[in-house]
Amino acid sequence: MVDGLRAYALITGMWVRSTLAYRASFAMTVVANFAVTALDFVAIMIMFGHVDALGGFAMAEVAFLYGTTSAAFGLADLLLGSMNGVGQRVRDGTLDVLLVRPVPVFLQVAADRFALRRLGRVSQALLVLGWSLVQLDAASWSAGQWLMVPMMVLSGTAIYGALYAGGAAFQFWAQDAAEVQNSFTYGGNTLLQYPPTVFGAELVRGVTFVVPLAFVNWVPALRVLGRDDPLGLPGWVDFASPAVALVCCAGAGLAWRAGLRGYRSTGS
Amino acid sequence: MHAVRLSLTVAGHSFRRYATYRVATLAGVFTNTVFGFILAYTFVALWHERPQLGGYTPEQALTFVWIGQALLATVALMGGGVEEELHGRVRSGDVGIDLHRPADLQVWWLSADLGRAAFHLLGRGIVPLAVGALGFPLALPALPLPWLLFLVSVALGVVVGFAIRYLVALSAFWLLDGVGVRALSGLLGVFFSGMLLPLTLFPGVFGEVVRWLPWAAMLQVPADVLLGVHRGGDTLAALAFQAGWALALLALGRAVQRLAVRKVVVQGG
C-alpha cells in the first residue's frame, strides 16, 4: 500500500514536470480550468440577477451547494480524473505495459497523465464555498454544522472518486462508451449545484437510492441549512455520507477488480 | 470541378468515419439527454419565477435547452474534431505531408468537418431533441420553412465553429502545446454561444456585446431561427450575421495559415 502510494506520487510528479515544460500552455490550462467553473457560477449569478430564489433557495444557499459539490468533484477529478482514459488504453493495447510493472494497475491508471491544472476547479469551488459561508453567517453556526462541511467535501470526493473508478471499470467492457461516465460525474456535479426542490421527485429519489449522489451535498446540506428533506427520510440519514462513500468505494473496487480480471489484450 | 469532387469525397469519408463508432455515439446521446434533463428542470424553475424572461415563453426556453443539447456535438462547442487532429499533426510534423498534397489545407479540413457535423446532427441531434419533446412541452414549429431555415443556420454555425477551431489548431505552429488554447476556446464557446443560458438573459451592455460575437452564431442564432423569434427580414439578417462571421474568420484562417506555412520547419526525414 505504502509502496503503491509512493509510486503514485512518483508518476504524478513526473507528469507535473512534463506539463511544466510548456509554461505558457500550462498557465493557460490552469486559467481555463478555473474559468470554466467560474463561468458556470457566473451563469448562476445571471440567473439570480433575474430572480430572488430558485426552487425556494436564495443565492447564498445555492452557492453553498455549488461550493460543496464542486470542491468534492474537483478533488476527485484531480486525483482520479485520468481514469477516464482507460478505455483508450484498452483499445490500443497499451494497458499491457501497465500490467507488467510492479505497481497496482489502479494507481498507475489514476496517475496517468496527472493534470495539475485541475487545481483550478478546486480553488474556484473553495472561493465560492467561502463566500457562501460568509453570506450565510456561518460564524453563528454550531460546531456540528461546521464539522459537516469538511465531512461533505471528503465524503463527496470519495463518492465522485468511486464513480470515476466504477466508470473506468465499465470501460473494460464498453471501451467506446467513456462519455457515459460524464453523465454521472460532470452531470452529477451540475445537478447538485441546484437545490433538490428544482427537480422532479423521481430524479431526486434516483440520485438518493440508485446512484447516491445526493449524499455528496443535498442530504447533509439540507440539515446544515435547516431545510426540510423533500423525501422525508429519517434524521440520522443526514449524517450517513461517510458510510455511503465507503460502500461506494467498496463497490467500485470490486467492479474494478472484476473488470481488470476480465481484460483481454487486443493481442496485436 | 476536381476540387468540389475532392471535398465531397473527404466529407463523405469523414461522415463514415464518425458513423463507425456506434457505441461512442450512443454514449454521447445518453450524456446529452441527461444534461438536457438537468438543464430543463433548472429552466422550468427559472421561468416559473419569471414567465417572460429573456423574451422567451417557458416552452421556448425549454426548446432552447434541447436545441442546445442537440447541437452541442454538431457545432463542436467544446472543441474537438479538426482542432485536436490538425493540432496533433502540427505537433508531430505530419502536417508537412498535408502541405505537400495537391489540395488546399483549409478546404480539406473544412470538408472533413462538414462531414463530421452532418453525422453528428443526425446521430447525436435527433434523439435528444425527440426525448426532450416527449418529456417536456416544447415550442417546435409545425411548418417545414422554419426547419429549412434552421438547417441553413446550423450549417453556417458549423462553418463559424470550424473557422474558430481551425485558428486554434494553427496556434500550435507557435505554441507547440495547444492544450491551453483549446481549453480556453472550448470554454468561450460554451459560455458565449448561449449553451449555459440564452444570451438574451445576459445583463446590460455586456449582453448587447455578446450577441455580436462569433460564438452567438453557433447556437443562439440557430435556436432563435427555429423558435421563430425573428420576423420576416430579420431572419435573413440573422443568417447574414452568421455568414459574415464565417467569411471573416475563414479569411483570417487563411492569413494565419500563410504565416504558419512560411514559418514551418519539419523535423526528421
Name the minimum distance, in Å, from the CA of A264 to any CA of chain B: 19
Task: Determine which helix (DSSP H) or strand (DSSP E) holds B32, and give its type and residue range.
Answer: helix B22-49
Instruction: Give me the pLDDT at residue A216, please.
Output: 95
Note the pLDDT tens digit of each residue in A47-88.
Answer: 999 999 999 999 999 999 999 999 999 999 999 998 988 888
Cβ neighbors of B67 (< 8 A, separation 6 or more) are B129, B219, B222, B223, B226, B227
- Cell numbers found for residue A162: 468511486
User: What is the C-alpha to C-alpha distance for residues A197 and B71, in angstroms, rounded to an integer?
Assistant: 28
User: What is the C-alpha to C-alpha distance for residues B251 and B41, in angstroms, rounded to an integer?
Assistant: 41
Question: Residue A200: closest CA among chain B residues belongs to which residue?
Answer: B41
The size of the A-B interface in CB pairs under 8 A is 118
A55-90 per-residue burial string, b: 16 or more CB within 10 A, e: under 16:
bebbbbbbbbbbbbbbbbbbbbbbbbbbbbbbbebb
Q: Does A131 touch chain B (CB under 8 A)?
A: no
A90-94, A225-229, B5-9: lowest mean pLDDT where? A90-94
3-state helix, strand, coil in chain A (%, to 5): 80, 0, 20
For residue B197, the chain A residues in CB contact (below 8 A) are: 43, 46-47
Task: Output phi, psi for B124, to 5 deg.
Answer: -115, -5
Asked whether the beta carbons of residue B181 and residue A25 sit closer than 8 angstroms, the reply is yes
- At residue A24 the predicted structure's pLDDT band, cuts being 50, 70 and 90, is confident
Q: Is residue A266 part of a domain?
A: no
Instruction: Give me the pLDDT at residue B164, please.
Output: 96
Instruction: Give me the pLDDT at residue B269, please.
Output: 46
Asked whether the beta carbons of residue B183 and residue A29 sit closer than 8 angstroms, the reply is yes
Q: Which of B73, B182, B66, B77 is nearest to B117 (CA)?
A: B73
Question: Residue A33: closest CA among chain B residues belongs to which residue?
Answer: B183
Q: Does A210 touch chain B (CB under 8 A)?
A: no
Q: Is the pLDDT of residue A188 over 70?
A: yes
Q: Does A218 touch chain B (CB under 8 A)?
A: no
B15 CB neighbour count, 10 Å cutoff? 19
Split into its structural domains, chain A has a count of 1
Instruction: Give me the pLDDT at residue A177, please.
Output: 78
Cβ neighbors of B82 (< 8 A, separation 6 or more) are B109, B112, B113, B162, B165, B166, B169
Question: Residue B195: closest CA among chain A residues belongs to which residue?
Answer: A43
Note the pLDDT tens digit of each residue in B216-267.
Answer: 999 999 999 999 998 878 999 999 999 999 999 999 999 999 998 887 766 5
Instruction: Give me the pLDDT at residue B61, please.
Output: 97
Full 3-state SS string of A153-196: HHHHHHHHHHHHHHHHHHCCCCHHHHHHHHHHCHHHHHHHCCCH
Q: Which residues pair with A54 in a beta bridge?
A: A57
DSSP state of A100: T
Cβ neighbors of B20 (< 8 A, separation 6 or more) are none
Q: Which of B194, B209, B116, B196 is nearest to B155 (CA)?
A: B116
Instruction: Give me the pLDDT at residue A134, please.
Output: 96
Instruction: Give me the pLDDT at residue B90, please.
Output: 86
Asked whether the beta carbons of residue A43 and residue B197 sit closer than 8 angstroms, the reply is yes
Q: Is residue A223 part of a domain?
A: yes
User: What is the C-alpha to C-alpha distance for residues A216 and B265, in angstroms, rounded to an integer?
Assistant: 52
**Contact criterion met (CB below 8 Å) for B113 and B81:** yes
Asked whether the beta carbons of residue A39 and residue B196 sit closer than 8 angstroms, the reply is yes
- Cell numbers found for residue A8: 503514485
Asked whether the beta carbons of residue B178 and residue A25 sit closer than 8 angstroms, the reply is yes
Asked whether the beta carbons of residue B46 and residue A51 sit closer than 8 angstroms, the reply is yes
For residue B46, the chain A residues in CB contact (below 8 A) are: 47, 50-51, 54
**Contact criterion met (CB below 8 Å) for B154 and B124:** no
Q: Is residue A41 part of a domain?
A: yes
Name the minimum distance, in Å, from the CA of A102 to any CA of chain B: 31
pTM value?
0.91
Weakly modelled stretches of chain B, pLDDT under 70: 265-269
- At residue A176 the predicted structure's pLDDT band, cuts being 50, 70 and 90, is confident
Q: Is residue A2 part of a domain?
A: no
Cβ neighbors of B222 (< 8 A, separation 6 or more) are B67, B71, B150, B153, B154, B157
User: What is the C-alpha to C-alpha distance for residues A196 and B166, in angstroms, rounded to an integer?
Assistant: 41
Cα distances from B10 to residues A65, B6, B85, B123, in angstroms, run: 48, 6, 15, 19
Q: Does A133 touch chain B (CB under 8 A)?
A: no
Instruction: Give me the pLDDT at residue B266, please.
Output: 61
Q: Is the pLDDT of residue A212 over 50?
A: yes
Which burial class, exposed, middle or buried, applies to A148 when counting CB atoms under 10 A from its CB (0-12, 13-18, 19+)? buried
Task: Determine which helix (DSSP H) or strand (DSSP E) holds B196, and give its type and residue range.
Answer: none
> What are the extents of the domains in chain B?
2-263
Which domain range does residue A221 map to?
10-261
Instruction: Give me the pLDDT at residue B265, please.
Output: 66
User: What is the C-alpha to C-alpha distance for residues A127 and A38, in angstroms, rounded to an integer?
Assistant: 10
